[in-house]
Amino acid sequence: MNQPPPTSLTPTPIGPAASIGVAASGAAGALAAAVPSFRWERLTPARRRTPGSGDTTTTQRSLIERARAITRSVPQAVACRQTAAHLWGLDVLDVRDADWPIELTASAYLTLTGCVTYVAPLPDEDVTEHRGVRITTMERTALDCARWLPRMEGVAILDQFARRGVDLEALWHRPLNSWRLRDTLSLADRGAASPRESRLRVILVEGGLPRPTTQIGVELAAGQFVYLDLGWEDFKVAVEYDGQEHHTTAADQQRDIDRREALRKRGWRVIAVRREVIPGQIADILHHVANALIERGWQPGPEGTTRILRRIRAARRRSRFRLTR
């Protein structure tokens, strides 16, 4: 028996708030200099030193200084993964540059203190030199990050590489494909303006919502366009990341208010998500956006509704776990 589309995920809406979240107040000598207390020890490929642990002298040097010294001193060492992405200029590290371990790809274990080594074949065409560091190319770095990092972080890195000119379509033809890599590649979008926007898009898709379009142009007046971070044009629902770095003054905030009021008059519903919301209030994001889409005519169907509710419940459980640890 056909069931009518729901008018809301629950009888109680998430609330009228315009935004989600609460505002929060020689070679050997060079190598020794890079890693003063280096020693040889057996590590598995997946083992990582805790950032910031160990010899404090090591962490006082920047990542590029340490990577440059090591790759010059150890011929088979190539900086890779998030280390390489950072050295290519991407926003990827969640700790201080000097506290991040150097990630290396090599043909054999190179267990240097302050480093983590991944043993893997690396074709010559995937290796280059950048800023004095032997490093994986942008394309290979993008593939490695997409394959091995959690999907949300992998997508954020792919988006940044795409904005720097990496051809994501060409990556599909590389021989490194796996189901995990294909899954991450399928979510990449060069339209994301920041890593947080990338993560927000992944949250929405993983939550069971239709994939949003990035950078939607809306004409407010003759020749005057504004661009929405993420949205669904068919339903005139948009989600925007409210980064504090973009809204630092009262004038900035007033421009946002005026802009969203102009969008509202043109039929758009804009949901602003503050930076502190991710990852603590993912359930609220999904609930709010799903309700807005359903109210505008989206029909997820019984199975789709069940999937969204499961994602919301799972997100609430994870949030409670983080708060009680």
Per-residue confidence (pLDDT) for residue 250, from 0 to 100: 83
Per-residue confidence (pLDDT) for residue 85, from 0 to 100: 98
Per-residue confidence (pLDDT) for residue 50, from 0 to 100: 38
- pLDDT over 90, % of the chain: 58
Higher pLDDT, 292 or 278: 292
Residues 228, 230: Cα–Cα separation, whole Å? 6
Does the structure show a pLDDT above 80 at 24? Answer: no
User: Can you tell me the mean pLDDT for 36-62?
Assistant: 43
Q: How confident is the model at residue 8 (pLDDT cuts 50, 70, 90)?
A: low
User: Can you tell me the mean pLDDT for 270-281?
Assistant: 80
Per-residue confidence (pLDDT) for residue 249, from 0 to 100: 79
What SS3 state is found at 33? Answer: helix
Does the structure show a pLDDT above 80 at 194? Answer: yes
- In the chain, beta strands by DSSP E: 19-20, 78-79, 102-106, 115-119, 127-130, 133-136, 213-221, 224-232, 237-242, 269-274
Q: How confident is the model at residue 248 (pLDDT cuts 50, 70, 90)?
A: low
Q: Which domains does the chain have, with CATH numbers?
A: 28-187 (no CATH), 192-324 (3.40.960.10)
Q: How many CA atoms lie within 13 A of 82 on its CB side?
A: 19
Which residues are registered as beta bridge partners of 117? Answer: 104
